[in-house]
Chain A
Amino acid sequence: MSDATNISHDREASFGDYFALLKPRVMSLVVFTAMVGLLVAPVAVHPMVGFAAILFIAVGAGASGALNMWWDADIDAVMRRTRLRPVPAGRVAPDEALQIGLALSGFSVVMLALATNLFAAGLLAFTIFFYAVIYSMWLKRWTPQNIVIGGAAGAFPPMIGWAAATGGVAIESILMFALIFMWTPPHFWALALFMRSDYDDAGVPMLTVTHGRKATRAHILAYTALLVPVSMGLAFTSIGGPAYLAVALVCNAWFLKGAIAIWRRDEVQAEADNFRVEKEVFRFSLLYLFAHFGALLVDATLRMTGWI
């Protein structure tokens, strides 16, 4: 780099900044769901191979996170929630984020292919492409349905985990995909309702801006209603069990109740109690997903120990 002298030393990137480029918080969800997908699959995987598979899926997710930060640096700089990210804060150069993203993408796909199989690696490659190109570059700034279609990128990990174990696709892995896919819109729209100004300032077409907040409330209810049959359907596949069924019943009842409450409220009510219900539903939606995948793991353990 010829202009190295222009870099101010106090803003130089630490190792943590490069790690932050990989969106570790998103990665934790990817690791968890991919691990469940791999462990509930009917094919036993050597623990070391399973560990490596999840590691490389996580690296692939991190790579797409770095590509997203490279492309979205202009949006991130405007939004309060994201303006301290390494690229908008000036600690990591945009080119560096791009290079790290591309290098880790190739690395993770090749390594997953070597550790498991080509099908799982292909699925990972498609996921990275889907998140970085289709979602970040194309849909995010173009349509308010960005959340719906972009949610597919976050929904792939359990399918990749399942593919790493079995080498293919099954109704169970498709339903795990559908569960995250249908869950993402109500989860993010609940967030968009109380994080109002951010997306407006950045010019990202959020449903709250393009179709109004009333329409967003209706959309949350509609997608939650569509989520329920997917969640319940998974209970009656080979990977469902008593723990999953119980968790799904309770969580869906609660989530649906919250979605109806959001739908019934208007802006005056919401502002009066500082978006209490919206915040509650958002927080619960996180628990909803973790509880579902956690329950799948419990049922897999019960099956393995011969309890059911």
Chain B
Amino acid sequence: MAIRAEHELHRRRLSRNVGLGVVLVGFVGVIFGLTIAKVSTTGAIEGFDHVVRPALVEAGE
């Protein structure tokens, strides 16, 4: 049997592969949406990195 780019197996399993692909893309969408929802309802977020944080600097300092 000659080697072909597309095996008969690929055609047979197309529906499964497309279905799984749609589910995975949907899952990415859900996680992304959840992230946006959670971050935007938590309120202002300050990162603890190497930046001057004015909120910690007392007045008059």
B13 cross-chain contacts in A, Cβ below 8 A? 12
Of all chain A residues, which has the CB nearest B18? A15
A15 cross-chain contacts in B, Cβ below 8 A? 15-16, 18-20
A14 cross-chain contacts in B, Cβ below 8 A? 15-16
B19 cross-chain contacts in A, Cβ below 8 A? 15, 18-19
Of all chain B residues, which has the CB nearest A53? B34
CA distance A114 to B33 in the complex (A): 13
Within 8 A of A (CB), among B29-54: 30, 33-34, 36-38, 41
Stretch of A44-52, A136-144, A163-171, A213-221 lying at the B interface: A44-52
Q: Which of A9, A12, A49 contacts B34 (CB 8 A)?
A: A49
Which size bracket describes the interface of B in this complex?
A: 10 to 19
**B interface: dominant SS:** helix
CB of B12 closer than 8 Å to a CB of A: yes
CA distance A236 to B56 in the complex (A): 51
Q: A46 near B16 (CB under 8 angstroms)?
A: no
Q: A9 near B12 (CB under 8 angstroms)?
A: yes
CB of A134 closer than 8 Å to a CB of B: no
CA distance A55 to B37 in the complex (A): 16
Of all chain A residues, which has the CB nearest B26? A55
CB of A13 closer than 8 Å to a CB of B: yes
Q: Which of A46, A55, A115 contacts B41 (CB 8 A)?
A: A46
Interface of B with A (CB < 8 Å)? 12-13, 15-16, 18-20, 30, 33-34, 36-38, 41
Interface of A with B (CB < 8 Å)? 9, 12-16, 18-19, 46-49, 51-52, 55, 114-115
Pairs A–B under 8 Å by Cβ, sample size 5 = A9-B12, A12-B13, A14-B16, A16-B15, A18-B19
